[in-house]
Structure 1
């Protein structure tokens, strides 16, 4: 925290996935996570610029560890493996995955098991790579797993028909489809993910317990005051309670 106050800037990394976190053409950080960080800076009465760097999702933790960025400015699950690499705040929100298919669902995908023997994809650095690799169809066939640098690349190959489906971030995919009616994609309504495994926290480099404590204090009061709910609603994630509460 002392470094942020001294330098009057905070460096975050994002995979450029609206509505969580994006970088505008002018270099401005926008989205739910940057707005939460701005709220924290206001709470601390710290005048600091948020600088955001776009990168593949799989590069965010290494960039924290190398010091290139200071905060995970994106949605990231608090898994046990990741907590060995970086520190996390308390839970900010829950962000379950979605099963995305071409509009009309031409291959009749209703569940993960339906992907057995078919090509499906996700993007680098996500826990869904393991999920897809562990799936077996009713006949025992495995998924032909394709891993891409970005969620946008995955969605493009579903739309083109190269993939039967994508296992990706539910909020990002639903937001993209709602904002771009011409996208030839839809979410599989029959797929119901387990929210207990998808808790997200704000990640930072290890060794700054003061930041974690102060941020947790801010976020608790921001939840209580309705500030967090207002941020989610501003960015189109409604009802906000779906993502904020387990």
Structure 2
């Protein structure tokens, strides 16, 4: 759902509820889960953290999610799903934690919520960025992603990257907290000239209504959200320029800085899933392609 600001977060099924109803559904499910497990993990004091042991004892891990398709959301049957929750179920089961419980919040509140003990891990497809790496520790990415645009059918302004959009003075929009804000600013937009909308559905609506010429998001979210649109299409994926170089982003689970043991154990299981091909089988139903599987590491994306 990342982005250094994202989101990217960021999946899509088109016959989807609005973002507000998604968050409401997640909240309801989270409340039900909380009723069955009132014990909340607190900060670890042992070197490397002892959260994994405590989660095993509790039998449940609390996932911070942002109600974003396809990264973590409530489906039409009221069930928690998305690439991150489904992956979390598999990995935490292997780690001896049988249940996952959603804790809904806005994307921009995920890191503060994690560090203030509101949940145990961020499971929201969050992009790994140097800025975020100063606040949390990341598992290695479970996917990589390029950007793409939503434009009017036929792409009348011939927009294929941020430089095109700046050159042609395209009216530009992206989502709240999305990494694409920074990508656009780096290309030459003033942040105050960017229309910020709640998510990719609102972005599609803005393009279809002619309020903007382009909406920027992840390649996955843009291609999924336009599938049933008669007025808009998505462009081919492209790598935005960051510090003058093409940037491919990666999304990952985030942990509190003290919980290195949990993060490391998570990484061990994640690598097994990558090697066996099971990771792709988990993510494919949410629109991910083999080209979006990755061997990127958190260390690379953190800049260290």
TM-score band, normalised by the shorter chain? 0.7 to 0.9
Alignment: residue pair count = 238
Question: What's the secondary structure of 2:140's corresponding residue?
Answer: strand
1:15 aligns with 2:47: no
The residue that corresponds to 2:275 in the other structure is 224
Q: Where does residue 62 of structure 1 map in the other structure?
A: 112
1:159 equivalent in alignment to 2:208 = yes
List runs of 5+ in structure 2 lacking aligned partners: 1-51, 241-245, 297-304
Contact kept, 8 Å, 1:14 with 1:53, in 2: the verdict is yes
Unaligned 5+ segments in structure 1 are none
- Matching of residue 75 in structure 1 with residue 125 in structure 2: yes
| Separation in 1, partners of 2:122, 2:261 | 17
Q: Which residue of 2 aligns with 1:105?
A: 155
Structure 2 counterparts to residues 65-214 of structure 1, below 5 A? 65-116=115-166, 117-136=169-188, 144-178=193-227, 181-182=228-229, 184-189=231-236, 192-193=238-239, 196-214=247-265
- Does the CA-based 8 Å contact 2:239-2:247 persist in structure 1? no
Deviation readout 1:87-117 (Å, 9 max, x if unpaired): 1012222022212212222333233123223
Change (3 A) 1:231 1:11: same
**Cα-to-partner distance string for 1:27-75 (whole Å, 9 max, x where unaligned):** 5320111111111122123222x22234332222222122222222211
Assess if the C-alpha contact under 8 Å between 1:20 and 1:172 holds in 2.
Answer: no
Residues 204 and 225, structure 2, Cα contact 8 Å, conserved in 1:
no
- Aligned-residue Cα RMSD (Å) equals 2.5
Q: How does 1:29-40 map to 2 (within 5 A)?
A: 29-40=80-91
Give the stretch that moved more between structures: 215-224 or 67-76: 67-76
Q: Report the secondary structure of 1:76's partner residue.
A: strand
More deviation in 18-27 or 126-135?
Answer: 18-27
How far apart in 2 are the matches of 1:160 and 1:62?
35
Provide, for residues 5-45 of structure 1, a one-character-per-residue CA deviation record: whole Å limited to 9, x for no partner.
Answer: 23322222333332222123665320111111111122123
Q: Give the Cα–Cα distance (whole angstroms) in 2 for the partners of residues 19 and 214 of structure 1.
A: 25
Distance of 2:72 and 2:232 partners within structure 1: 22
Q: Which residue of 1 aligns with 2:5?
A: none
Confirm or deny that 1:52 pairs with 2:99.
Answer: no
Matched-pair contact (CA < 8 Å) for 2:121–2:254: yes
CA distance in 2, matches of 1:150, 1:69: 23
